[in-house]
Structure 1
Amino acid sequence: MDKAKDFGQDLSPTLLKNLIAIGCAILIKETVNLNKLKNHMGLLLGNQHTQTDSHYRRLTRFFDHPVAQRRLWKWLLVWILGYIKRWDGRSMSLYLTLDATSWQLGKQPIQLLVLSLVYRQVSLPLFWMDLARKGHSSQQQRKRLLQQAMKLYPVKGFCLLGDREYGGKAWLQFLTQSGLNFIIRLPKDSYKEAISAGGKAYSALLKRALRGRTVSQWFTLEGHRYQFVARSHQDGAQSADPLVLLISNLSWSKHVVVERYRIRWTTECLFKHLKSNGFHVEELGVQHWAKIRLLVVIIVVLYVICVAEGFRQYHRLRPKKKELGNFQPRESVFRKGYSGVVNQLSSIEHFLDWLMKQLSKPLKIPIRIFFFNVQH
């Protein structure tokens, strides 16, 4: 624990020890359910003779601790962002994604609105908020999330990628005025009149897109110039949603805009790792919002550590044989790193010794990583 003091210098020894033990238990059990984690706490802490109910009370006391609820989540979030900033700057992507994932906890709906940085084909959560309800986020909630994230991470000049529910005139204007570029998917018939006023009729543009062409047109909306891009869906005109309609404030070519928008899919992979392919966040049993917030940030810390280790072992990832042009790994960077991290969990002492060494090493990413024909 003395070696971890620099990592958690503002935390009490007891709080830091419980934090690390909970993180190790989550990695081993691949769940956030406290009732399942209690069964492994005795082995991790070296007191197997203690009753599991006592370990469960230890877990609940940790999440009930006022310092843990009010301050620990902030400290962990700042640590995550500071750690990511130290990664190899040459490899830093300039793409952000905004998306939400939701599930039901008893009668309580949980919906996390997540702003992520796409770093070398992997989405890393930068900031998030629990909307605690069903349905889409409001423009005010999205603005508040971005404003808070901008105070912690230098996202100005980045390109934000978002799905159809993240539109709106005031929202687009806010992004432009905040110094953010964006590529956002549009629902059909959005800004139809404004787009038609920019040159060719809206219906004519869609007809060409349905025939397999990628079309674009600049138009003016609320005093700002935007590019409208349309193309047919990759599943063809017979799909339920045959067109992909995009709006952007970037001067990139229409083909580049379409290709860059595909990077947004990395967020779906992030949610998969958090929910079913790694930590099973849907199994959390705590219902108080402060406890949920703390548990989520602990999961994100573990996720980022696993991704960093996956990048260090990137040379061991096998490529898919069908991918001849670009390198596409058979195993995800996260899962590769997860396996490497768990292999160090023979004991908390060994794991901490290994982790402190890894955190102090510079993280250099292979420059050959490609994703969707885009080198980040």
Structure 2
Amino acid sequence: MKNISELTVILKAFLGWSKPRTELLSHLLCALFAVRTVNLKTIANAIRSSATEDSRYRQLQRFFAQFEPSYQQLGRFLLRLFFSQDDLLYLTIDRTNWQFGKCNINILMLGIAYKKIAIPIYWVLLDKKGNSNTQERIDLLKKSLVIFRGYKITGLLGDREFVGKSWFRYLQKNKIPFYIRIKKNLNVTDSQGKVTKVESLFSGLKSNEACYIDEAIQLTGVFVCLSALRLSAGELLIIASSEAGKNSIDIYARRWEIETLFQCLKSRGFNLEDTHITEQSRVRKMVGVLAIAFCWSIKTGEWRCEQGETIRIKKHGRPQKSLFRHGLDLLQQIGLQTCHCLKRIRHCLKLLINEPYAPD
């Protein structure tokens, strides 16, 4: 990419890394856009440099091995790209995991729902396979709450993994509203002290019918509000929320946006599972690089739409491609140096400082 030095200045200002590390990050991002894989050998081949292939590869290995960035600072950078302190934030929490050889790679991530896709903000690697536990979730939130100082958290959205007495009490103590899906066979206690399976409260629901219970119900020793929807396949979708309201199901539906994020980091974008890196701190750093690339792609896709390069709607009513892919396509052209318009390149750089578009 042309203007590597300008990209380096922008990233250094927000991340606070040394100039050599930030410059390597700039080259890494440009090569990543070009090849769209996290395989370091492939990235090394795409970096334009007078150094040998082996030298470029060793530079990348050292980049992922030799320092630990501030993930809170990185999260703050990504947050400010999309949100102001006047915005209401719906946080969404989830895991993605896969196996490389005998090694389990298990990422617990917190994102913010945004235009049908989640923006990655903070993540950790779990030293195990399977579900997170309460303490791991609490640790994640404690460290990420520093990022959200001055911002309004409207709700935390999570799937059935994210249920528990201590977990719910932590969220209530810290005044974090939540909308969490729960299993249908959990026991609940009504205001008369009667214990029953939660599914029995909604047994009369018909397909695509929803119901909201006005009174607070005790679940795992914590009082919550319950809503349910009978899905078209017959399954019950039951939501426990900390706040009364009949829109809990619609709010919870935005949880899916973090699944879309994971798809973009993996098969639809950067092929995260192609990495042969297994050491946790290095995988975490790789996700950080992808988070910057992903957010830059979203910003670029938005800008293209604002400039009249709209995404075509197909006959079945769905867009031809996502906002993420719309931006990634242009950044890939820039990374491959098949885009020769300096004006477009410079404005893509300005998107990283959230600078409004000003026509020349």
TM range (shorter): 0.7 to 0.9
Determine whether 1:268 maps to 2:259: yes
| Aligned partner (choices 176, 184, 191) of residue 188 of structure 1 | 184
Report how many residues are paired: 342
Instruction: Give distance in 1, aligned partners of 2:70 and 2:339.
Output: 24
Q: Which residue of 2 aligns with 1:102?
A: 97
Q: Does 1:17 align with 2:11?
A: no
Residue number among 192, 216, 238 corresponding to 1:245 in the alignment: 238
**2:97 is the alignment partner of 1:60:** no
Task: Tell which deviates more after alignment, 26-35 or 210-219.
Answer: 210-219
TM-score, normalising length: structure 2? 0.84
Matched, 1:299 2:299: no
Change (3 A) 1:251 1:2: same
Partner of residue 259, structure 1: 250
Conserved? CA contact 2:202–2:228, under 8 Å: yes
Q: CA 1:90–1:25 in 2, change beyond 3 Å: closer, same or farther?
A: same
Distance in 2 of aligned mates of 1:198 and 1:94: 36
AA of the residue aligned to 1:56: Y
2:216 to 210, 219, 222: 219
Give the Å deviation of 1:310.
Answer: 1.2
Q: CA RMSD in A?
A: 3.0
Does structure 1 retain, via aligned residues, the 8 Å contact 2:217–2:226?
no
Structure 2 residue 328 is the aligned partner of structure 1 residue 338: yes
Cα–Cα, structure 1 residues 208 and 293, in superposed 2: closer, same or farther, change >3 Å?
Answer: same
Instruction: Pick one of 8, 17, 36 that aligns with 2:12.
Output: 8
1:160 aligns with 2:161: no
Is contact 1:88–1:362 with CA below 8 Å preserved after alignment? no
Identity of matched residues, %? 25
Partner of 1:141: 136
Q: Structure 1 residue 355: deviation in Å?
A: 4.2
Structure 1 counterpart SS, 2:189 = helix
- Aligned partner of 2:37 in structure 1 is 31
Tell me the TM-score normalised to structure 1 length: 0.81
Separation in 2, partners of 1:124, 1:271 = 10
Partner of 1:178: 174
Post-superposition shift, 1:17? 2.0
Matched residues in 1 for 2:339 and 2:21: separation? 15
Alpha-carbon distance in structure 1 between the residues aligned to 2:179 and 2:73: 28
Mean CA deviation greater in 352-361 or 161-170: 352-361
Match in the other structure for 1:311 = 302
Q: Which amino acid aligns with 2:299?
A: A
Q: Which residue, out of 204, 208, 226, partners 2:204?
A: 208
Structure 2 runs not aligned, ≥5 long = none
* Separation in structure 1 between the aligned mates of residue 230 and residue 288 of structure 2, nearest angstrom: 39
Secondary structure of 2:146's aligned partner: helix
SS in 2 for 1:313: helix
Do the aligned partners of 1:63 and 1:291 also contact (CA within 8 Å) in 2?
Answer: yes
